[in-house]
Chains A and B, each alone.
Chain A
Amino acid sequence: MATAAVQPGERETYLNHQYGIKSWLLTVDHKRIALLYLMGITFFFFIGGFFALLIRLELLTPAGDLVQADTYNKLFTMHGQVMVFFFLIPAVPAVLGNFLIPIMIGAKDLAFPRINLLSWYLYMIGGVLMLYTIINGGVDTGWTFYTPLSTEFLNTHVITAGLAIFVAGFSSILTGLNFVVTTHRMRAPGMTWSRLPLFVWAHYATSIIQLLGTPVLAITLLLVVCERLFHLGIFNPALGGDPLLFQHLFWFYSHPAVYIMILPGMGIVSEIVCCFSRKRIFGYQAMALALLGIAVVGFLVWAHHMFVAGISLYAALIFSLLSYFVAVPSAIKVFNWTATMYNGSISYQTPMLYAFGFVGLFTIGGLTGLFLASLGIDVHVTDTYFVVAHFHYIMVGGMVMAYLGGMHFWWPKISGRMYPEGWGRLAALLVFVGFNLTFFPQFILGYMGMPRRYWDYSHSPEFQILNVLSTAGATILAVGYLLPMIYFLWSMRYGKPAPANPWNAAGLEWMVPSPPPTFNFDEEPVVTWEAYNYDEIKEEVPVAQ
């Protein structure tokens, strides 16, 4: 039974409001649901990371000698599926978005608290199906499920893997729906659209992609399952289907999915850069519009994954051109973050270090994306390690950096405790160095012609030295990821109690105590200020306690 558990003299917070397993599993508090997600996401991050480490160890030597070929194929498949669908896509929205959006707009909760809980259960059901797939022997389709390989030629657990992602997809759709309605309907008086923090704008744009894109993926995976089970000729030419149709449908979701991963990260970085530069964001309007622009144009570039797949010459030209259009708003964001720092008062706490890392790595990831959008170059480097390096710069260098930056920035708010700053900076440095050492050599490998998803490269020993560097980097990266896990847990018990506003940051979430009470605000706040009003926030004097 859930019981009120506040000790005398202790302030009531969302954490001590009730105790007991039921008070968590049946909670409709967006903050508690965020923590439930945090546990699931962290679990899958380390599963996916473990697979990655095995992949890197196998590639240490040219011969395929650590695991069998089939095992290796399963490792990269499940690394991709777990990381993309059970970590990267849900991580920032479901944890930080869930926790922060209602507070940032001055609401008590999301618009549909019960649907929010349902989303978590759907995510967990999908996760359990994925674990079942892994434990039962895995799946080796590649995370992309390309047909007819996946529908006709493999005897692994394709159906359960497909269904796992199908179910988790509904979690993503419902979360998106919840955020859109919340942003429209639940804003506090005075919290106009032009006063919304960019973090909220970023999630709004993300949610639109989730709502419009995810159903297409769900349908596509269902069709794969149907073709496998009932031999309906949809994608397999031997049955009268078209394998390119699958690729069009798959990438129609899976390209915008990249923006589901990176836009929330951009939101986080905008918050952090402003706070630690003590400045307004440079060009608020352009930053918000760029987020929406990326979300919209991002839907029109999917076939740039298919330049050598057998699409027509003119389709390739159009998709190449449109891919450059999506690069423009991305460029605006990078320049505006840089301009935000101009004549600021900059300090280098851990979240800011991650934000620096994000801007740098996202720049490299974005520029190498321009290489891939250029048709002549893409023909050579697509399906090689160049692509692997490129999307890891965006997803790991970009999104994971932003996620960790955000976790450090809002950890005092979430847990009510400070993390150890020295360890934080060390981990940020390790992640940055380890990341670059892991993935930069892969750009060179790719241009040298090493194809991706190769278990054995004994025919090309010239690839080894760069692979050794990459594996060395991966071990540093692993330490960099384990450290925050350890000191966050440590800080929950031993960390310094956090004040309401440890960073002297702007925004409603810093005006409520750390950790916040169950209903966030004692009385509905009235907003009379623009976002990032750092000129009105005096340092060392918390706004409210």
Chain B
Amino acid sequence: MANNVDALYIFLLTVSALMTISIFTMIIFFAIRFRKRAGHQAEQIQGSHALEITWSVIPFCVFMVFFGWGALIYFKERKPPDNSAEVYTVAKQWMWKFEHMEGQREINELHVPVGRDVKMIMTSQDVIHSFYVPAFRIKQDVLPGRYTVAWFHPTKPGTYHLFCAEYCGTSHSGMVGSVVVMEPRDYEAWMGGGGNQPLAVTGERLFSELGCVTCHRSDTQGRGPNLVGLFNKPVLLEDGRTVTADENYIRESILQPAAKIVNGYKPIMPTFQGQISDEQLNALVAYVKSLGQQPTGQTGGRNMATATPKTQ
């Protein structure tokens, strides 16, 4: 991604430099060539539509290239690959909290293996923050009350700056950390044989402790919709709309169940707003996403270490 952004940047720099130099050269040339001197009269010119159209249309065409190229990169940036490893992120004044699918938790440091696509599923506990890794050329604001998503594909081992890029109060400039990109075997060693409870397993436990399982049963007899295979599928709502069951939909359905009622069900679910922490919410979302998809736990498809790392 960084290479794509830099290529566009260099293209923009080159075109802009050419435009700047040609305008500056013209101004300086005119200023000297047509300086005030005896016997020289200014020539009055009304203008020229032909010229004006030329220097509107040509820049416009160039601008459209800037637009199109930038949009292509942005499209890619906004669409994480399906098999990305997932890291749930909670930002707060003034720290970054990460939780891997395998259950490892980190503060202000994020360890990832080279070559694995990493999808950050992020929310904030207080104000707006922004997840910014300059070396990866990615930035995404992190908002309270919803998830936002960013992804990257680390290609070179090393330690990279992580900055908060949205002003968030007193220690905004102290809300920094690092992304540590490691060779896969170093990463395995760092992860150290587990011992942590995988996030989706935590979610499963919560799912039964909170009583969710009594209504959301894995058959069609429950008072709530069956959640197996729900993630990323269209859901028909009572009011006739269809929405995609993404992370924000699952999150909202837990915190504000009445916001979107699934067609054929009654609005009987109680709200969990204020009763579970952001971390617990993340675990529940991770569990619901895992239902009916790949196996959960140490070998889940959204884990860091499952897929064979691509080397580049």
Chain A interface (Cβ within 8 Å of chain B)? 64, 69-70, 73, 140, 142, 146, 148-149, 152-154, 236-238, 242-244, 277-286, 307-310, 313, 316-317, 320-321, 324, 327-328, 331-332, 334-336, 338-339, 341-348, 356, 359-360, 363-364, 367-368, 370-371, 373-380, 382-384, 447-449, 451-457, 459-460, 534-535
Contact between A341 and B27, CB atoms less than 8 A apart = yes
For this complex, 9 residue pairs linking A to B, each with C-beta atoms less than 8 Å apart, are: A153-B127, A242-B145, A279-B42, A320-B71, A327-B59, A335-B52, A341-B27, A376-B69, A378-B70
Among the 9-residue stretches B158-166, B223-231, B260-268, B292-300, the one with 4 or more Cβ atoms under 8 Å from chain A is B158-166
> Measured between alpha carbons, how far is A148 from B144 in the docked complex, in Å?
9
> Measured between alpha carbons, how far is A64 from B38 in the docked complex, in Å?
59
Contact between B44 and A280, CB atoms less than 8 A apart = yes
- Nearest CB on A from B260, distance (A): 15
Contact between B127 and A345, CB atoms less than 8 A apart = no
- Nearest CB on A from B129, distance (A): 10
- Nearest CB on A from B274, distance (A): 9
Contact between A451 and B163, CB atoms less than 8 A apart = yes
> Measured between alpha carbons, how far is A535 from B41 in the docked complex, in Å?
9
B190 within 8 A of A: no
List residues of B (35-84) whose CB comes within 8 Å of A's CBs: 35-37, 40-49, 51-52, 55-56, 59-60, 63-64, 66-67, 69-75, 77-78
Contact between B36 and A346, CB atoms less than 8 A apart = yes
- Secondary structure type dominating chain A contacts: helix
B185 within 8 A of A: no
Contact between A243 and B144, CB atoms less than 8 A apart = yes
The answer to whether A313 and B8 touch (CB under 8 A), given A283-B52, A375-B73, is: no
The answer to whether A534 and B69 touch (CB under 8 A), given A313-B75, A376-B74, is: no
B210 within 8 A of A: no
List residues of B (89-141) whose CB comes within 8 Å of A's CBs: 93, 126-128, 130, 132, 134-135, 137-141
Contact between B77 and A379, CB atoms less than 8 A apart = yes
> Measured between alpha carbons, how far is A265 from B51 in the docked complex, in Å?
24
**Cβ contacts under 8 Å, A309 to chain B:** 128, 141, 143
Contact of A342 among B45, B132, B138, B168 (CB under 8 A): B45
Contact between B8 and A345, CB atoms less than 8 A apart = no
Chain B interface (Cβ within 8 Å of chain A)? 4-5, 8-9, 12, 16, 19-20, 23-24, 26-27, 30-31, 34-37, 40-49, 51-52, 55-56, 59-60, 63-64, 66-67, 69-75, 77-78, 93, 126-128, 130, 132, 134-135, 137-141, 143-146, 148, 161, 163-174, 176
The answer to whether A370 and B12 touch (CB under 8 A), given A328-B59, A335-B55, is: yes
- Nearest CB on A from B127, distance (A): 4
**Cβ contacts under 8 Å, A374 to chain B:** 8, 12, 66-67, 69-70
**Cβ contacts under 8 Å, B140 to chain A:** 308, 310, 379
- Nearest CB on A from B210, distance (A): 21
Contact between B143 and A243, CB atoms less than 8 A apart = yes
The answer to whether A383 and B169 touch (CB under 8 A), given A343-B42, A345-B40, A377-B9, is: no
Contact between A278 and B42, CB atoms less than 8 A apart = yes
The answer to whether A363 and B164 touch (CB under 8 A), given A280-B45, A320-B70, A376-B77, is: no
Contact between A341 and B34, CB atoms less than 8 A apart = yes
Contact between A237 and B12, CB atoms less than 8 A apart = no
**Cβ contacts under 8 Å, A360 to chain B:** 23-24, 27
Which 3 residue pairs of A and B lie closest in terms of their CB atoms, listed nearest first?
Answer: A449-B134, A237-B145, A376-B73
- Nearest CB on B from A322, distance (A): 10
**Cβ contacts under 8 Å, B161 to chain A:** 449, 459-460
* Residue of A154, A344, A347 most packed against chain B (CB within 10 A): A344
**Cβ contacts under 8 Å, B143 to chain A:** 237, 243-244, 309-310
Contact between B128 and A375, CB atoms less than 8 A apart = no
A-B contact count (CB 8 A): 262
**Cβ contacts under 8 Å, A286 to chain B:** 47, 49, 52
- Nearest CB on B from A379, distance (A): 5
> Measured between alpha carbons, how far is A236 from B298 in the docked complex, in Å?
38
**Cβ contacts under 8 Å, B74 to chain A:** 307, 313, 316-317, 320, 375-376, 379
Identity of the chain B residue whose Cβ is nearest the Cβ of A374 in the assembled complex: B70
**Cβ contacts under 8 Å, A313 to chain B:** 74-75, 78
Contact of B138 among A281, A380, A451, A534 (CB under 8 A): A380
- Nearest CB on A from B283, distance (A): 20
> Measured between alpha carbons, how far is A252 from B288 in the docked complex, in Å?
39
- Nearest CB on B from A63, distance (A): 11
* Residue of B70, B74, B134, B170 most packed against chain A (CB within 10 A): B70
Contact between A146 and B128, CB atoms less than 8 A apart = yes
- Nearest CB on A from B311, distance (A): 25
Contact of B60 among A73, A328, A341, A380 (CB under 8 A): A328
- Nearest CB on B from A326, distance (A): 10
The answer to whether A451 and B55 touch (CB under 8 A), given A69-B171, A338-B23, is: no
> Measured between alpha carbons, how far is A457 from B78 in the docked complex, in Å?
29
Contact between B72 and A534, CB atoms less than 8 A apart = no
> Measured between alpha carbons, how far is A338 from B52 in the docked complex, in Å?
12
- Nearest CB on B from A137, distance (A): 14
- Nearest CB on A from B80, distance (A): 13
Contact between A535 and B137, CB atoms less than 8 A apart = no
**Cβ contacts under 8 Å, A282 to chain B:** 45, 47-48
> Measured between alpha carbons, how far is A332 from B73 in the docked complex, in Å?
29
Contact between B173 and A338, CB atoms less than 8 A apart = no
Contact of B9 among A73, A344, A371 (CB under 8 A): A371
- Nearest CB on A from B246, distance (A): 12
> Measured between alpha carbons, how far is A16 from B286 in the docked complex, in Å?
78
**Cβ contacts under 8 Å, A447 to chain B:** 9
The answer to whether A347 and B173 touch (CB under 8 A), given A153-B127, A341-B30, is: no
**Cβ contacts under 8 Å, B144 to chain A:** 148, 236-238, 243
- Nearest CB on B from A430, distance (A): 20
- Nearest CB on A from B214, distance (A): 28
Given contacts A367-B19, A451-B173, 14 further A-B contacts (CB under 8 A): A73-B169, A142-B167, A148-B128, A152-B127, A243-B128, A283-B52, A285-B47, A344-B34, A363-B20, A367-B20, A375-B73, A377-B9, A383-B165, A459-B161
Identity of the chain B residue whose Cβ is nearest the Cβ of A69 in the assembled complex: B170
Contact of B172 among A73, A284, A285 (CB under 8 A): A73
Contact between A535 and B71, CB atoms less than 8 A apart = no
Contact of A459 among B34, B43, B45, B176 (CB under 8 A): B176
